[in-house]
Structure 1
Amino acid sequence: MYLRPQADEFPVFYKGYIDTVGDDVLVELESQIDSLPKFLSEISEEKACYAYAEGKWTIKEVVGHILDTERIMSYRALRFARQDATALPGFDENDYVKYAHFATRSLQSLVDEFIVLRKSTMYLLKSFNEEELNRSGISNDRPISVRALVYILAGHVNHHQHILKERYL
């Protein structure tokens, strides 16, 4: 079981994500392989194109954003676990969504991609030992630990699933 990251292991921005994660982050990450697709399966293709306000992402775009963020956070975790001291830049999630054409894809294709991507992420995360989890690096000009990135992955999905329930459905 991974120990919960301490406040000095991540930028305060991520606290809300991390706070949504239960006692066993690996179990939660694994359970999301089934729970997020099950949740999304209740949404019609028509509804998946819905945005709750002007300028907000559609449901498909939210799911696409989850995919992009999974890749980026996993990459950061890999780099820092391998003691790569190169500072990594942040990313503008709005530009990523803007240029990704998620609207042209089916919701099911995005769900299928999430399943495969998360399974791949799990192999990576399960390969980390305690020493690697304790490592950290600089991302977006701030220090962050590998352990925090693991919790952020789970919390990010929790966060967006909550927003989808609250504002879209």
Structure 2
Amino acid sequence: MTDLRYPIGHFTSPEEITEDIKQKWIQTLEDFPLRLENLVKDLSEEQLETPYRDGGWTVRQVVHHCADSHHNSYIRFKWALTEENPLIKAYNEADWAELFDTKTGPINMSILHLKAVHAKLVYLLRGLSDSDLKKTFIHPESKEAVLLLVNIGIYAWHCNHHYAHIEHLLIRKGWK
């Protein structure tokens, strides 16, 4: 039985991140908005209001969460590139998921947002040098430095993680 909270497992960074791995991660980021759009575009309002697991977010909330999270990630990359090991601002994703726009807003807003943010992020990432990717930021919860190169992998994983939440729900419900 798949763990519905972590259907693809937790993110684990490879010991050595090769150029091939980095490029695959960037490709995942580039492809994600369209993959997600294709997965959810034909869902009814009732289906969008279905939690991906008992006690979990609805499909609508997951889509909006991805846009919020990836927007924050883009800003974190920019901070790390322009400041010396900055302490980034965390946000309470559970509270954000309960906001009016996340609970009721049309998902197309977040799909469009993801397309724009991912286009900007991928363009930025493809232009970074190896020394740029060694820059870090500090997450206030873990207090650990996060290497930008690893952060690419974290967000590629995050794309696949939430895609799997929705895809597994659709399969379980017979909607796919």
Give the TM interval when normalised to the shorter protein.
0.7 to 0.9
| Identical amino acids, percent of aligned pairs | 19
Q: Which has the higher contact order (CA 8 A, sep 6+)?
A: 1
> Matches of residues 61-80 of structure 1 in structure 2 within 5 Å?
61-80=61-80
Equivalent residue, structure 1, for 2:166: 164
Equivalent residue, structure 2, for 1:96: 96
The structure with the greater share of residues assigned to helix is 1
Equivalent residue, structure 2, for 1:147: 149
Equivalent residue, structure 2, for 1:48: 48
Query: For 2:114 and 2:125, how far apart are their aligned partners in 1?
Result: 16
Equivalent residue, structure 1, for 2:106: 106
Measured after TM superposition, the shift of residue 126 of structure 1 is 2.1
TM-score, reference length from structure 1? 0.78
1:115 aligns with 2:115: yes
**Pairs aligned (count):** 153
Query: For 2:59 and 2:122, how far apart are their aligned partners in 1?
Result: 25
Map Cα deviations across residues 126-147 of structure 1 (whole Å, 9 max, x no partner).
2321111011121122210111
Measured after TM superposition, the shift of residue 66 of structure 1 is 0.6
Residues 84 and 96 of structure 1, relative CA distance in 2, 3 Å threshold: farther
Equivalent residue, structure 2, for 1:16: 10
Q: Stretches of 4+ moved more than 3 A in 1?
A: 52-55
Measured after TM superposition, the shift of residue 112 of structure 1 is 2.1
Query: For 2:82 and 2:113, how far apart are their aligned partners in 1?
Result: 26
TM-score, reference length from structure 2? 0.75
Map Cα deviations across residues 73-128 of structure 1 (whole Å, 9 max, x no partner).
12111111223333124322101112252232112232222212211222222232
Residues 57 and 133 of structure 1, relative CA distance in 2, 3 Å threshold: same
Query: For 1:158 and 1:31, how far apart are their aligned partners in 2?
Result: 11
Pick which of 33-42 and 156-165 moved more: 33-42
Pick which of 150-159 and 52-61 moved more: 52-61
